[in-house]
């Protein structure tokens, strides 16, 4: 008597199941793409590090941000600031930094920190500011 159950080929399901498992495994990564980065260092690396270093005197496209919290704006030695920043008359504190990285034009009109789109996510700004305030 022929065994009819042999006609079903359970092995065929495996690639489809593997593909589904792959999609499920990838889903959390997609979900995180728009969420704020988990820590300030990562956010700094993503948004600032192209142009800013954290070692004293290490100026790149932008000035070193070593000790920026508590520093007079546009004052660090050895960096050629725009006249807008050089003339700015305030000390960087956490509120000022937060406002600057949200929308630099609103804090220092005529600045030269470009191209920089601004960070709309308040949680992410807070992480970066805390990271800078804690010495980077």
Binding site for ligand HEC (CB under 6 A): 47-48, 50-52, 61-63, 65, 68, 71, 73-74, 76, 81-82, 84-85, 92, 97, 100-101, 111-113, 115-116, 119, 128
| Residue closer to ligand HEC, measured from CB, 3 or 34 | 34
Report the chain's C-alpha Rg in angstroms: 25
Question: SS3 for 91?
Answer: strand
Q: How far is the CB of 123 from ligand HEC (least distance, A)?
A: 13
Smallest gap, in angstroms, from Cβ of residue 15 to ligand HEC? 44
* Closest approach of ligand HEC to the CB of residue 23, in Å: 34
Distance CA 114, CA 23 (A): 38
Q: For the chain, where are the alpha helices, taking DSSP H only? A: 13-32, 40-47, 83-87, 94-102, 104-107, 122-133
């Amino acid at each position: 008597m022929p065994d009819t159950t042999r006609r079903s080929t359970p092995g065929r399901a495996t690639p489809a199941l593997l593909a589904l498992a792959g999609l499920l495994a990838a889903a959390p990564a997609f979900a995180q793409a728009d969420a704020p980065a988990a820590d300030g260092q990562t956010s700094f690396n993503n948004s600032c590090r192209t142009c800013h270093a954290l070692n004293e005197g290490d100026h790149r496209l932008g000035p070193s941000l070593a000790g920026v919290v508590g520093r007079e704006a546009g004052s660090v030695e050895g960096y050629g600031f725009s006249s807008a920043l050089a003339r700015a008359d305030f000390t960087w504190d956490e509120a000022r930094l937060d406002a600057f990285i949200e929308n630099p034009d609103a804090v220092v009109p005529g600045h030269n920190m470009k191209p920089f789109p601004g960070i709309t996510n308040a949680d992410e700004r807070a992480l970066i500011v805390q990271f800078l305030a804690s010495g980077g």
